[in-house]
Structure 1
Amino acid sequence: MKNKILLGISFSLAIATSIYLYTYKEHRDISSETPDYVVAISGLEKEFSSNGSLAYAKYQDKTIEMTGQITAIDAVNKGIVLNDKVFATFKDSLPKSIANDKILNIKGRFLGYDELLGEFKIDQCSVTY
């Protein structure tokens, strides 16, 4: 009888520990990751226009790096728009070197494509030099 109780407690502790570790796992630091893909904005557009579901599977939640011209700045949401196609938000604050029409190389986590606005969404961005 004691063995069954001990086994039950051990099993319950193992399950509780697994749930805790899964729930409170360490967050990703996108700025220190090596990009999974280095893509051109035009290449991203082509992939999504030819086969959107395959492109989503390829890029979803991956770290990507791209270069583009800043076409809009959203200081309230800590974001920028590159080539009128990519909306990128920064984790902490906008870098001081941000200015309209400047060419910028960024790295961030790909979130998806907003069909309503026709924009790709990237978050946790950092400027790469």
Structure 2
Amino acid sequence: MRKKILITISLFLITGIAIYRYSYKNHRDIESETADYVVTVYGLEKEFTSNDSIATRKYQDKTVELTARVTTIDLETKSIVIGEKIFASFKDSLPKGIAIGKELKIKGRFLGYDELLQEFKIDQSSVSHSNK
């Protein structure tokens, strides 16, 4: 009887520790990660047009880096659109110096393709390098 109680308590304890560690694991720091993929807007469109389920599995939750011109800025949502197809949201605030028409190199976590808006979604974005 005592052995069963000890085993039960041990199992609850191990399960509790596992759930705690899973729930409170460290969050990713996308800005310091090396990009898994360096892609272009055209390249993403081509892969998603060819086979969207394979492309989604390939890029989903991966760190991607893209270079394109800023086409839209939304200060309220701390987001921009680059290359007319990439919706990039920033965690805290928009980096200084972002302007429509400026070419930026954006790195962020790829979320997926929004068929309704026909945009690729990236969050936790950072500007890794800017030109012009």
TM-score normalised per structure 2: 0.95
**Structure 2 segments unaligned to the other structure (5+ residues):** none
Determine the structure 2 residue equivalent to 1:27.
Answer: 27
Determine the structure 1 residue equivalent to 2:123.
Answer: 123
**Structure 1 segments unaligned to the other structure (5+ residues):** none
What is the alpha-carbon distance in structure 2 between the residues aligned to residue 39 and residue 78 of structure 1?
23
Q: Deviations over 1:66-95 (max 9, x none)?
A: 100000101100000001100000111000
The Cα of 1:20 is off from its aligned counterpart by 1.0
Alignment of 1:32-111 (within 5 A): 32-111=32-111
Runs of 4+ off more than 4 Å: none
Match of 2:71, SS state, is strand
What is the alpha-carbon distance in structure 2 between the residues aligned to residue 105 and residue 120 of structure 1?
15
Q: Deviations over 1:34-53 (max 9, x none)?
A: 11000011000000011111
What is the alpha-carbon distance in structure 1 between the residues aligned to residue 10 and residue 50 of structure 2?
52
Q: Deviations over 1:78-125 (max 9, x none)?
A: 000001100000111000110110000010000011111111000000
Count of matched residue pairs: 129
Letter in 2 for 1:123: D
Determine the structure 2 residue equivalent to 1:113.
Answer: 113
Letter in 1 for 2:10: S
Match of 1:68, SS state, is strand
Q: Is structure 2 residue 15 aligned with structure 1 residue 15?
A: yes
Match of 2:44, SS state, is helix
Give the share of equivalent positions with the same residue, in percent.
63
Match of 2:117, SS state, is coil
What is the alpha-carbon distance in structure 2 between the residues aligned to residue 28 and residue 3 of structure 1?
42
Letter in 2 for 1:3: K
Match of 1:112, SS state, is strand
